[in-house]
């Protein structure tokens, strides 16, 4: 009995000893693991590590912008900044991932009335965070859904829109976000705040097989994959998705921050300062050969490269040094002891034989590699020839030889790569729905614009050579000249003349303070653009429909002469026929209402879009605005309402409110109203528009030459037609006869 009691007592003592040893080992392990937080501050919140300059609790963060709260929810602790939940924080990349709620607009399914309209704005202004412009995308999901992101950069407000449409369930594809059911667009750098707005009257509430909800969110591109269920079942409602933030010590560059050592954040030895790539500010990194937290004193610690045998950087013996390592070969060997090197034993006969055999094998491998390279080059040549034939290259060459004096040539891929420094992003001068435009310099020092398209459908492949020949023969002073093309690539590239002074949109809306543009200049730009479109509709053979007329597609040269550009949405069509398209093309604010309903593209579609351009010239306002009521967002709707209530003068740009020119302005406004007629048959032809604008220009010039005020005239509100009465006409005739 006594033996049993002693044995039990000894067992308990042994168990307690083992437990104490385990606790001591855990304590030593935690003590040896360096902390990335300030001493005495919380290192983790739930599964998220909180490294300094971030912190939880008083005096644990660099400043209030990095101060987080560790909040318990359902027994799980999570870090928050106000109501924004952090998922992880990276010191090396200067990035953090957060949760962002999906904004939604839902209808009751029986009418167009919204029953659920929730947007979840995020405002990080005055905080050290910017939304990553490289890892995030503004994404819209739904059928007949138009959403806009309103973003703030410093004191300026930006907005970007995205339209998701679909015909039926069969048109949707999992993983595809190219406009059918799902649309995504990039955001600029430096954005610290954003909100979501929906176009309420553009929805799928009357379509029974789609969810009555549309969604929009700023989301990490790699973390979101489109699913057809998002459109058919509304599975995105009330969801939260990851969003990437770029953080930095803000408002000073590295050079500025080093001047004040008391506030300089890179306090660790062996640390380096790197300027932020997204907004003003800088980050701290440990120097090469060190790791840890550069924001803490002595936070960057030497990496022992020799400690891990699996990643040993030496072929021989490894010796760790501060910030690096050295290698040497073992005794009795020589060679290169560093990584990918070898330490060879002293040569023997067997070794010499082995070397000879190895050299033979290497020679055989080199010969095999040369044969492979030759075959690959031939394969690439065959692929280029395949594309060249596929797009009608031989036919195009034959047509070029037939047409004398045609300033058009076929470029090689290498020529265009050399002209653009291999399509370097610094040479990008424009992005469009159909592709990217690069500035290039040819070998003969000509500056050109090279359009690199995104995709081309099978039907366009068959007709591409014919279409290019038609466009190459267009020779009009107000149309951007097509100089050549490259066919030996998967999607052909087009080479245009370079127009140096930007476009009409930039002239009217793009600068602050605004450039003063007089009415005479605006009238001339309108007349020249109308003449170019009238030429495409009436004089080109076959006639050409532009398909995307807008102020950003009217370029301006050094003398502000208008040149119509971007035929990416153009269609050549035989006379008296219309074009049917399967997806809506063009730009919001300029689209023909009948085209939105019927998908029939005609020359009157261009007339409607040109009417909106006339409104921009008269009012100085954007075609679409995010502010105000639904009717006030559309410039054309706002204009038509103003014409009904005699409110044109209040809508005009302040730069052209001149009583001496008001009669001409009214005539242009009346012409714009006829162009914006809902029914196509009530719109004038582009030729009629060009003639009317040309007549108004002559009238303006005649009055200036004779120093006379423009005679009074009226315009018919009911017909919406500009009517110049006899007093004005007689004055023009008398002035011409007097010459």
H or E stretch covering 317:
strand 317-321
DSSP state at residue 736? H
Contact between 435 and 452 (Cβ < 8 Å) = yes
CA angle 582, 584, 589 (to 5 degrees): 165
Could you tell me the end-to-end alpha-carbon distance of the chain, in angstroms, rounded to an integer?
140
Chain centroid to CA 595: how far?
26
Catalytic (active-site) positions: 548
Tokens 């469009």 appear where?
432
Please give the biggest Cα pair distance in the chain.
142
Q: What is the mean pLDDT of residues 338-353?
A: 71
Tokens 């001068």 appear where?
429
- The pLDDT of residue 20: 54
CA angle 684, 527, 554 (to 5 degrees): 100
Provide the total of helices (H) and of strands (E) in the chain, helices listed first.
Answer: 17, 41
Task: Identify the sign of the CA torsion 298, 300, 306, 309.
Answer: positive
**Per-residue confidence band for 720, with pLDDT thresholds at 50, 70 and 90:** very low
Burial of 436 (0-12, 13-18, 19+ CB in 10 A): middle
Lowest mean pLDDT among 125-129, 464-468, 505-509, 729-733: 729-733
Mind listing the pLDDT tens digit for each residue in 646-701? 999 999 998 998 767 889 999 999 999 999 999 999 999 999 999 999 999 998 88
Mind listing the pLDDT tens digit for each residue in 694-714? 999 998 887 766 555 554 444
Q: Rounded mean pLDDT of the chain?
A: 82
Top-confidence range, 151-160, 510-519, 596-605, 608-617:
608-617
- Would you say residue 502 has pLDDT above 90? no
Mind listing the pLDDT tens digit for each residue in 220-240? 999 999 998 898 887 888 899
Per-residue tokens: 29:
């392990």
Mind listing the pLDDT tens digit for each residue in 473-486? 888 999 999 888 88
Supply the DSSP string of 628-690, one letter for each residue. S-HHHHBHHHHHHHHHHTT-HHHHS-GGG--TTTHHHHHHHHHHHHHHT-SSGGGSPPHHHHH
452 annotated to a ligand binding site: yes
Lowest mean pLDDT among 554-568, 628-642, 721-735: 721-735
- Which of the two residues, 367 and 203, has the higher pLDDT score? 367
Domains of the chain and any CATH numbers: 32-90 (no CATH), 100-247 (no CATH), 249-301 (no CATH), 393-497 (3.30.200.20), 504-738 (1.10.510.10)
- Would you say residue 350 has pLDDT above 50? yes
Total Cβ atoms within 10 A of residue 309: 7
Contact between 451 and 496 (Cβ < 8 Å) = yes
Q: What is the mean pLDDT of residues 242-266?
A: 93
Contacts of 165 (CB under 8 A, 6+ apart): 143, 144, 145, 179, 180, 181, 583, 584
Contacts of 42 (CB under 8 A, 6+ apart): 50, 55, 56, 57, 60, 70
């Amino acid at each position: 009995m006594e033996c049993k009691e002693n044995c039990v007592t000894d067992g308990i003592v042994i168990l307690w000893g083992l437990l104490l040893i385990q606790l001591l080992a855990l304590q030593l392990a935690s003590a040896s693991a360096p902390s990335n937080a300030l001493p005495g501050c919380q290192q983790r919140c739930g599964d998220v590590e909180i490294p300094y300059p971030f912190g939880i609790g008083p005096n644990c963060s660099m400043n209030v912008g990095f101060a987080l709260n560790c909040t318990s929810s359902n027994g799980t602790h999570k870090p928050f900044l106000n109501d924004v939940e952090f998922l992880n924080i990276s010191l090396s990349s200067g990035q953090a991932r957060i949760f962002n709620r999906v904004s939604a607009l839902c209808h009751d399914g029986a009418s167009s009335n919204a029953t659920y309209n929730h947007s979840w704005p995020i405002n990080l202004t005055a905080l050290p965070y910017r939304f990553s412009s490289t890892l995030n995308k503004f994404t819209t999901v739904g059928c007949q859904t138009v959403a806009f992101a309103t973003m703030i950069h410093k004191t300026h407000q930006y907005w970007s829109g995205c339209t998701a449409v679909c015909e039926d369930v069969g048109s949707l594809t999992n993983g595809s976000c190219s406009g059918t059911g799902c649309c995504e667009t990039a955001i600029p750098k430096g954005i610290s705040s954003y909100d979501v707005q929906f176009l309420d009257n553009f929805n799928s509430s009357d379509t029974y097989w789609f969810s009555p909800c549309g969604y929009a969110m700023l989301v990490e591109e790699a973390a979101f994959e489109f699913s057809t269920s998002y459109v058919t079942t509304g599975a995105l409602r009330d969801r939260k998705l990851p969003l990437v933030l770029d953080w930095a010590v803000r408002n000073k560059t590295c050079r500025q921050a080093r001047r004040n050592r008391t506030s300089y954040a890179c306090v660790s030895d062996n640390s380096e300062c790197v300027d932020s790539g997204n907004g003003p500010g800088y980050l701290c990194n440990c120097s090469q050969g060190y790791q840890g937290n550069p924001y803490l004193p002595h936070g960057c610690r030497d990496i022992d490269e020799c400690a891990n045998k699996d990643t040993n950087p030496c072929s021989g013996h490894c010796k760790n040094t501060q910030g690096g390592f050295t290698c040497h070969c073992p005794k009795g060997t020589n060679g290169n002891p560093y990584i990918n090197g070898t330490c060879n034993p002293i040569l023997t006969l067997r070794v010499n034989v082995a070397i000879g055999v190895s050299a033979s094998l290497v020679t055989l491998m080199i010969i095999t590699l040369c044969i492979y390279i030759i075959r690959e080059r031939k394969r690439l040549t065959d692929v280029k020839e395949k594309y060249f034939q596929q797009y009608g290259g031989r036919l195009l060459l034959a047509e070029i030889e037939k047409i004398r004096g045609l300033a058009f040539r076929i470029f090689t891929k290498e020529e265009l790569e050399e002209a653009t420094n291999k399509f370097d992003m610094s040479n990008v001068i424009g992005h469009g729905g159909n592709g990217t435009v690069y500035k290039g310099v040819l070998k003969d020092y000509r500056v050109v614009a090279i359009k690199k398209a995104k995709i081309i459908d099978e039907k366009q492949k068959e007709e591409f050579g014919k279409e290019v020949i038609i466009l190459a023969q267009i020779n009009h002073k107000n149309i951007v000249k097509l100089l050549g093309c490259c066919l030996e690539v998967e999607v052909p590239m087009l080479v245009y003349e370079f127009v140096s002074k930007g476009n009409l949109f930039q002239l009217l809306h793009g600068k602050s303070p605004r450039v003063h543009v007089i009415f005479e200049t605006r009238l001339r730009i309108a007349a020249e653009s109308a003449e170019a479109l009238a030429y495409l509709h009436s004089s080109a053979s076959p006639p050409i429909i532009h398909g995307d007329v807008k102020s950003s597609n009217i370029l301006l040269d050094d003398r502000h002469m208008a040149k119509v550009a971007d035929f990416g949405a153009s269609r050549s069509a035989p006379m008296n026929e219309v074009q049917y398209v399967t997806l809506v093309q063009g730009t919001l604010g300029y689209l023909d209402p009948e085209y939105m309903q019927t998908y029939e593209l005609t020359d009157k579609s261009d007339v409607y879009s040109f009417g909106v351009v006339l409104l921009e010239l008269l009012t100085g306002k954007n075609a679409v605005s995010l502010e105000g009521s639904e009717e006030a967002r559309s410039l054309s709707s706002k204009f038509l309402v103003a014409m009904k209530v005699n409110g044109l003068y209040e809508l005009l740009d302040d730069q052209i409110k001149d009583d001496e020119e008001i009669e001409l302005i009214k005539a242009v406004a009346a012409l714009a109203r006829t162009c914006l007629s809902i029914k196509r048959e009530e719109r004038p032809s582009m030729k009629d528009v060009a003639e009317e604008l040309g007549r108004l220009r002559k009238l303006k010039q005649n009055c200036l030459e004779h120093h006379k005020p423009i005679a009074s005239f009226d315009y018919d509100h009911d017909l919406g037609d500009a009517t110049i009465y006899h007093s004005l006409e007689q004055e023009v005739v008398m002035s011409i006869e007097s010459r």
